[in-house]
Structure 1
Amino acid sequence: MLRWSWLRTAAGRLRDGWRPVVETTLAATVAWVLATRIVGHPQPFFAPAAALIVLGQARGQRVRRAVEVVLGVAAGVLVADLVVQALGPRTTWTVFTVILLTIALAVAIGASTVSVVQAAVSALYLVVVSPVTESLVPFRFVDALIGGGVAVVASQLIDVRRPLAPLVAAFWRTFDDLAAVLEQVAAALDRHDAPAAVAALEQARQLDVEPLRDAVLAAGEAVRLHVRRRRHIGRLRSVDASIGQLDYAVRNVRVLARAGVTFSRLPTPVPPELGAALRDLSRAVEAAGRALAADLEGAEEAGDRHAEDADRAALAAVRTAGRLFTPGQSLPLAMIIGQIRATAIDLLRGVRADDDAAVLARVDEALGLPAV
């Protein structure tokens, strides 16, 4: 039974991750073919190695990593050539001196960890594995250039037509997860189910906007290499502010879920309006996600329509919660109402063009608070 479970898990991982497997295999093979057939190098180790290293990095960092790999190889080869000429190949002192000088040089110039390791590996390979050569042609440097270039091109082929598509998908996932947590909290409170409320809190703690930030970096890299990059750069510039507001909303929902756990453990009955407010807020989150995704895809009319939906749902949630804001309510209920208000504000700031003061005024008016 355990074996079949492992096989199903492995098959699922391959189904979800087959693209990187194929991408990496093809890129390393193409780099090898180019180095052997075009350059004519009989041992192009650094061509497929550079491709593997670059593609092993997170999307959004591959251009920089490609440059670092090439520079690391160049530095390692230079140091190794000089030391081999002075001390000879494959001796203990040569290995010691090459590694020491290469790492010290890379650290002194402030190189990243990838550059340090690549420089040391390149130098060590030249000293220990590669045969001594008097050729002045920088084969290894060219090989690294080929491998890094092939990797960068391969990493962008999937997104060549729609460079922002992965970012749009990341927005959908993040907002859908946030909306699902609000639905879970609402269901747990409706049933006065403390274990379900704890489960919702655990889901809230898993919410994270960092994958979305990584997706922005990847989209920026894809856009820089895209022919029509100006059109896409304009859409990306407004994303950072929206992610910041989403981060605030995620933190608010965590606090809301924690208060939901406390409220579900009290003997105090949960007013049904509270679940309705949370579900309205969940719908506002979904609509906000659709609005931002539509803006990224250039569908401005659809984006405006979804933003209006988010506005109506968020204000409806605040309005319903405001009716529960009466003297003598329990502290957990007051905390949930406060977090509904804060989440609505952050959502609307992320999708509306209004200034912060205007958003705050409209939300507080819906809550029934006096204007300041």
Structure 2
Amino acid sequence: MRLRERLTDVRRAALPIAQATLAAGAAWLIATEVWGHARPFFAPIAAIIVLGATYMERGRRTVELMVGVTLGIAVGDLLISVIGVGTWQLMGVIALAMATAVFVGGGPLLITQASVSAILVVTLQPPTEGIYWGRMIDAFTGGLLGIAVSILIPVDPLALARRTVRPLLHELAEALEAIATALDRRDLDAGERALVAARALDAKADAFHRAVVAAGETARIAPPRWRTRDRLSHYATADPQLDNAVRNVRVLARGALRAIQLGDHVPPDLGIALHELAATVRGYDLALADHDGRNAAQPRHSALRAAARATLVLERTGNMSVSVLVGQVRSTAVDLLRGLGLDGDDARAAVRAATLEVAAEEQGSVGAPPVPRPTL
């Protein structure tokens, strides 16, 4: 199983590996054959660094790379021409290059590249005739080649979005079911585990957000991926709403743990509502990948039922813990509905209608007393 997973990872990395190989090779070829540089080590290094950035960062990283290389070369060449080569000279060059990069307001890449460039200048090609600007040309060549390869041979943006949303959806559904189980069993340990699971969702939500940004940039600038833009819009719509849902679930987990600690009465219907929210999340993957919206019907229905059931719980049980939990269930349901394409007003109106529908079903099945019209 472990070997199969590793082989899957290698297969997924095949295109980035090919991009890096092609860009580095092309950068070296141009630097040696066109510019006539004998040892253009900065050219393939720059290509690899730029390709290692996300798509939104590549332009900025190329600029930082250029500035970093220039600073490192300038500091290294000037100092070594005066103080020579040695251990303390190397330490002085590194310190001065990094301090200069910080002084000009550089980010982590600029600071690192300035120090690396200075090290390479001192150790591989110490200056003999002042500053050698060919190194900067090599870095610029590699940076441009990295960007060009990422545009002409881009990754699949849809696959990138799907690959990152699936673990988020899986863990979000698991957290909701863990909260429901803890409430059903009045289990304090289970409640604490559910809170830990809810807090761990942030990393997955951040990864999905970064993937959506990168995928959108790829679809915008890479002609081979232009046709994916419409389908990527589903993921872009869902991104902020899933982030909101993650925040709400974290509050839900804290509220559930507090309710268990205080011994507050939480009706079983609230646990059912949480399981319905989990079902909503589990149906999200197919809904986001859908062309015509057919697969969105099931998660929408589950989200509406969850919000409606929670609303009725609040009408019948009004302690503080239930109020907090119901508020978060309804907010999460609305966020998930908006992620499926409904605007805020339509989502809230749909929840109100679903509440009346569920109330009518309960009255018809168990003869429950009339329930007043809820408000959101």
More divergent stretch after superposition (91-100 vs 336-345): 91-100
> CA distance change for structure 1 residues 91 and 283 in 2, over 3 Å: closer, same or farther?
closer
CA contact (8 A) 1:172 1:293 kept: no
* Aligned pair partner of 1:116 in 111, 114, 123: 111
Secondary structure at 2:314 match in 1:
coil
User: In the alignment, what sits opposite 2:326?
Assistant: 337
Amino acid aligned to 1:172? R
Q: 1:361 aligns with which of 338, 341, 349?
A: 349
**2:66 maps to 1:77:** no
**Partner of residue 251, structure 2:** 255
- Name the residue aligned to 2:240: 244
Conserved 8 A contact 1:54-1:66:
yes
1:125 aligns with 2:120: yes
Alignment partner of 1:325 is 2:314: yes
* Residue in 2 that maps onto 1:4: none
Deviates more, 1:44-53 or 1:331-340: 44-53
Q: Distance in 1 between matches of 2:267 and 2:64?
A: 59
Cα gap change, 1:347 to 1:99, in 2 (>3 Å):
same
Distance 1:230 1:23 in 2: 21
Show the counterpart of 2:281. Answer: 285
| Cα pair 1:213 1:243 within 8 Å, conserved | yes
Instruction: Kindly indicate whether residue 331 of structure 2 is the aligned counterpart of residue 351 of structure 1.
Output: no
RMSD over aligned CA atoms reads 3.9
Shift of 1:51: 3.9
Q: Which residue of 2 aligns with 1:275?
A: 271
Tell me, yes or no, if structure 1 residue 188 matches structure 2 residue 198: no
The answer to which of 133-142 and 164-173 deviates more is 133-142
Separation (CA, whole Å) in 1 of partners of 2:223 and 2:183? 51
Using the TM superposition, name which of 227-236 and 182-191 deviates more: 227-236
Q: d(CA) in 2 for partners of 1:83 and 1:268? A: 72
Deviations 1:87-106 (A, max 9, x none): 37538998688667755654
1:156/1:12 Cα in 2 relative to 1: closer, same or farther (>3 Å)?
A: farther
Does the CA contact (< 8 Å) of 1:61 and 1:217 recur in 2?
no
Q: Deviations over 1:147-166 (max 9, x none)?
A: 43454466678844x32320
In the alignment, the residues of structure 2 paired with residue 146 and residue 271 of structure 1 have an alpha-carbon distance, to the nearest angstrom, of 66
Deviations 1:29-77 (A, max 9, x none): 6368535566553323323433443355456434432342133223433
Per the alignment, do residues 23 and 203 of structure 1 end up closer, same or farther by CA in structure 2, a change over 3 Å counting? farther
In structure 2, the CA distance between the partners of 1:153 and 1:197, relative to structure 1 (3 Å rule), is: farther
Q: CA deviation at 1:279?
A: 1.6
> Aligned partner of 2:314: which letter?
F
Shift in alpha-carbon separation, 1:247–1:136, aligned structure 2, 3 A: closer
Equivalent position of 2:159 in the other structure? 165
Q: Distance in 2 between matches of 1:365 and 1:235?
A: 30
Aligned length: 354
- Distance in 2 (alpha carbons) for counterparts of 1:170 and 1:111: 31
Quick one: which amino acid aligns to residue 347 of structure 2? V
- Cα 1:136/1:253, change in 2 over 3 Å: closer
Tell which deviates more after alignment, 230-239 or 284-293. Answer: 230-239
1:156-192 Cα shifts (integer Å, max 9, x gaps): 78844x3232012222322222122112222333333
Task: Kindly state the Cα deviation for residue 313 of structure 1 after the two structures are TM-superposed.
Answer: 1.1
Structure 1 unaligned spans of 5+: 1-7
Q: Which residue of 2 aligns with 1:175?
A: 169
Distance 1:104 1:189, change over 3 A: closer
Is the contact made by 1:23 and 1:154 (CA closer than 8 Å) also made in structure 2?
A: no
2:139 to 116, 139, 144: 144
Question: Which has the larger displacement, 327-336 or 180-189?
Answer: 327-336
2:60 to 64, 67, 72: 64
Give 1:211 shift.
1.0
Over 3 Å counting, the alpha-carbon distance change for 1:97 and 1:256 in structure 2 is: closer
Contact 2:284/2:296 (8 A) holds in 1 = yes
Residue 207 (structure 1) shift: 0.7
Partner AA of 1:334 in structure 2:
S
Equivalent-residue separation in structure 2 for 1:244 and 1:32 (angstroms)? 39
Q: Residue 230 and residue 96 in structure 1: after superposition, are their counterparts in 2 closer, same or farther (change >3 A)?
A: same
What amino acid is the match of 2:186?
H
Q: TM-score, normalised by structure 1?
A: 0.76
Q: Does 1:46 find its partner at 2:35?
A: no
Partner Cα separation in structure 2 for residue 12 and residue 273 of structure 1: 42
Q: Is the 8 A contact 1:183 1:282 kept in 2?
A: yes
DSSP 3-state at the match of 1:42: coil
Counterpart residue number, 1:5: none
1:210–1:176 Cα change, 3 Å: same
Distance 2:127 2:375 in 1: 81
TM-score in terms of structure 2 length:
0.75
Distance in 2, Cα, partners of 1:231 & 1:264: 51
